[in-house]
Amino acid sequence: MYIPRLFYRLLLPLLALCVCSSTVANAGSTPAKPTEAMELRNQFIKLLEARNFVELDRRIDQARRDHLTIALGYPKLQIYYNIFSQGCGCTPQETDAMDWITWRKNLNDWRAQYPRSVSAQILDATYDISYGQYVRGSGWARSVTPEQWKELGANIEKAYQKLQQMSGPARQDPGWYIAMLKLTRYREGDHKDEYLDVLKEAMTKFPYYLPVYTTGSYIFEPKWGGSNEALSTFIDQSARRTYPRWGDSLYARLYSSELIEGPQDELAAMVDWPRMRAGFERLIHDYPAKDNYAAYARFSCQYGDIDALKQAMPHVDATHFDSVWWGQTPQFFQYCLQLSRRDLPGQKPDEAPNARNSVIWRHQQPTGMPVPPQPAH
């Protein structure tokens, strides 16, 4: 199923959490096992459909209170609040209309039985956002009918009104701010000032809640009326804000999430690779998960840092290439794998990469590193 760029960026953090690539680099390999995020999602849905609201509240409250994360370093609270997001690869089949009806009914009952539940209030609003995206569909904008646009707008406005009516703990919950940031970009009219106000407040209250930055960066992107300079400044300032606890890992996370979308020569040239490498090294130190190593390997390869590539690649599953990090075909993965196995850094592998953002080879080629042939455009 094609996911347009808008939804891809909305779901990127969740894609990194959930995706199990069924495309393999070698024939005969087996599909990956369900990820930790997929398991959390499946457990949540089972509890919701069983109407076990007490257990749902207990799990989400614990994730919020104890700042729990999954192996990749993403907050479990984020996983729970993204439960209804579509296109994340978390389910074996498409969500159908009956699922949405069941979930809505059970959410209503959860709210009625436990009106003070913060989790139920936030999920009540995020459901509307996700359902609006569902009825809009995942095709190009030109394929969306006026009725679908209208339905999306109605659900976004419904979620907005619910969020505005919240008070007390729900209004102070990090999920409230992330939901506001997500839906503000869908509302008709210019809401940039409101978006920035919400983002500023969120960064002040929750400086170490990762979704504040992964969601908040959208407003600075060129396609949303920003610029590469504004986006680069946001990434730099955000990484400095979180440096005392995270080092430069946020710098690596944010730039990597932006640069996987396609050729972005100008933005790629703004990356300080030594700083990004330090960020990845901190990330894999704190969260040594396979997908974090995959991201480190991918950008080490693209920036021509053979030493870093050789450090990261042995931790990447060579029988699968993760489509989130390695592009649309396995050629680039195979190129980087072959490059990492060369004894002499001056030797070139036989196969050139089919890589995006190839401009980085020209802008910041480390001394003594081989420059691979540029991919055909």
- State how far Cα 126 lies from the chain centre: 16
Q: Show the tokens assigned to 310.
A: 């050789």
Kindly provide the residue ranges of all beta strands, DSSP E only, lying in the chain, ordered along the sequence.
none
Residue 235 has pLDDT above 90, yes or no: yes
User: In 3-state terms, what secondary structure has residue 149?
Assistant: helix
From the list 356, 360, 357, the residue with the least C-alpha distance to 269 is 360
pLDDT digits (tens, 9 = 90+) for 251-263: 999 999 999 876 6
- Residue appearing with tokens 């479990």: 76
Instruction: Find the length of the chain.
Output: 377
The answer to pTM > 0.85 is no
- Residue 69 bridge partners (DSSP): 75
Burial of 159 (0-12, 13-18, 19+ CB in 10 A): buried
- State how far Cα 141 lies from the chain centre: 21
- How far apart, in Å, are the Cα atoms of 222 and each of 4, 264, 267? 16, 11, 10
In 26-96, which ranges are continuous DSSP H helix?
36-49, 53-66, 76-81
pLDDT digits (tens, 9 = 90+) for 60-118: 999 999 999 999 999 999 999 999 986 444 444 456 788 999 999 999 999 999 999 99
